[in-house]
Amino acid sequence: MTEFILGSASPRRRELLAQIGVTPDRVVSPDIDETPRPREAPRALALRLAETKASAVAAGPGAFVLAADTVVALGTRVLGKPADEAEAAAFLRKLSGRRHRVFTGVALRGPARNWNRAVETVVRVKQLSEDEIADYIASGEWRGKAGGYAIQGRAAAFIPWIGGSHSNVVGLPLVEVANLLRAAGLRR
């Protein structure tokens, strides 16, 4: 039997996989350095981090490892996971009234070969008031979220438009993941 490992501690990624009927045999949180390289483009960063995570997971010889990384970019500037409330509020002010891009790199490491994809979604945030920002920060939902917001939570009220995959913004582009799993022979 082929083992399928999710290389991510994100409960959102497990929930998204469940939506397409996929349950990992094991979940492993890879510990890697996520520091961007100088002048590294956001798409390249997302893909490199996903590939590095997939490679960092110990797996048996016949196992498949799926890993992903999501990057929020305003132009070429990456807005990572905010360190504190002040940084989260600063991110929301930067995103307010603007479009930004969300890239998720997905890597599937198999016994004989590897597959990877980088998916881009454009997201528009409405003009946010200081009260909306303060209320969102007080909710704590921003913690651990790239760009300081969660589209699947309260921040959904801030997003009037997206171009591309909604599940990509949550953290795992399901169409592309299903296609990778099919290409690897893990799904029909």
Q: Domain holding 98: CATH number?
A: 3.90.950.10
Cα–Cα distance, 11 to 147 (Å, whole number): 18
**Which pLDDT tens digit goes with each residue over 40-55?**
999 999 999 999 999 9
Residue 139 domain flag: yes
pTM value is 0.94
Q: Would 188 be classed as within a structural domain? A: no
**Helix segments in 20-118, DSSP class H:** 42-56, 85-95
71, β-bridge pairs: 103
> What amino acid positions are annotated as catalytic residues?
69
The length of the chain in residues reads: 188
CA distances from 150 to 54, 57, 147 (A): 24, 26, 9
**Residues of the domain holding 135:** 4-183
State what percent of residues in the chain have pLDDT above 70: 99
